[in-house]
Structure 1
């Protein structure tokens, strides 16, 4: 009986599948431990996994260094680095992490390990297959980004209350556009909505005044890591 349990075909298939996932390669720009600077998890110690590559070219992008290069690592090596930091929270970001097909098995492996995972994605790629245990932080690109036409509105159907929608705003025109989308699509009924000013472009106090004046059901967010460390990488 013991031997039968040890070699049960379903159990063997499960462990074989898990091992195969660990060997899958990813192109990684950096892995680092810092405070979460954005979203409702702001301030929490977090390990960031920045995947290389992005099909978008947003006008205000602050991670252009992640477009190219990076290091190829198997998921097992990524997991080993994460474990060394002894933290519960992980953010998978980019670039655009979903541009790499092996991002999906990475998210599954991390979730199976018991970590609390957030995925930062541009909203330009399909999120339907993302592991349900992952908190999806989905951008809606504004006209000022130059990539507004690439928004996948069908992604909204795959969001729930533990996900978040983020607008990055560069000026009043972006704000007015985001306000209209917020209301027309009842975004606050889907999940929490974040309004964030472009760093050193839109004054935070100005955005705060607009939000309060219009009584919008949104959370204003600043980039805590930039307030603390400026443009320094890996923090």
Structure 2
């Protein structure tokens, strides 16, 4: 069985996606090949502890709730994450995978809901987008754009007009502390975009505090 380097496992509310507000168990993996300028989990770039799959599953099962969110860092940077996702699905959990979009999602278990982040120019990592990932999206999956400014918004808007996506939800999220929520809402309404405006609910509740 695989071993994975885990930054933390904790219980909280899912702060983003269509599952926003639902209690969930988060499994945060250590390591990420990207350095987005707005990253709020840089503490997970290093450290953590090696854990066997059985130990991870035990800790997940000790926490209430059906939803499990596998996140990072970048969880796909560890090869063993695919086995973890399968084990969690086999255990009857509803599993979400939050990924940067820089690494291939081709081999992700089809039972997993993929939350694919398309990096905008304002992230300072847009050149890392793996565009082949778009062909591996399913109707259950969700695509997220974190927007830093008006230029990012227009970039994402034009991208959607040129590349229709099969994902269930298209999420537009303002970069925390960078883009005014009111402005983003107005732009979406003016352009009549078929997207979901989302905020990071956990930050509205607890602030920019790790482990929430």
| TM-score (normalised: structure 1) | 0.89
Q: Partner residue of 1:37?
A: 15
Distance 1:210 1:197 in 2: 12
Deviations 1:15-57 (A, max 9, x none): xxxxxx3xx2100000000000000000100000000000000
Where does structure 1 lack aligned partners over 5 or more consecutive residues?
1-20
Q: Partner residue of 2:31?
A: 53
Q: Partner residue of 1:228?
A: 205
**Higher normalized helix content (fraction of residues):** 1
1:135 aligns with 2:113: yes
Query: 1:159 touches 1:191 (CA, 8 Å); kept in 2?
Result: no
**Shift, 1:234, TM fit:** 1.1
Runs of 4+ in 1 over 3 A off after TM superposition: none
Q: Partner residue of 2:143?
A: 165
Q: Which has the larger radius of gyration?
A: 1
Q: Secondary structure of 1:179's partner?
A: helix
| TM-score (normalised: structure 2) | 0.98
Query: 1:26 touches 1:75 (CA, 8 Å); kept in 2?
Result: yes
Distance 2:80 2:205 in 1: 33
Query: 1:142 touches 1:167 (CA, 8 Å); kept in 2?
Result: yes
Distance 2:167 2:53 in 1: 32
What is the Cα-based RMSD across aligned positions, in Å?
Answer: 0.8
**Shift, 1:191, TM fit:** 3.1
1:195 aligns with 2:179: no
Q: Partner residue of 1:17?
A: none
1:179 aligns with 2:183: no
Q: Secondary structure of 2:4's partner?
A: strand
**Shift, 1:86, TM fit:** 2.3
Distance 1:184 1:61 in 2: 28
1:210 aligns with 2:187: yes
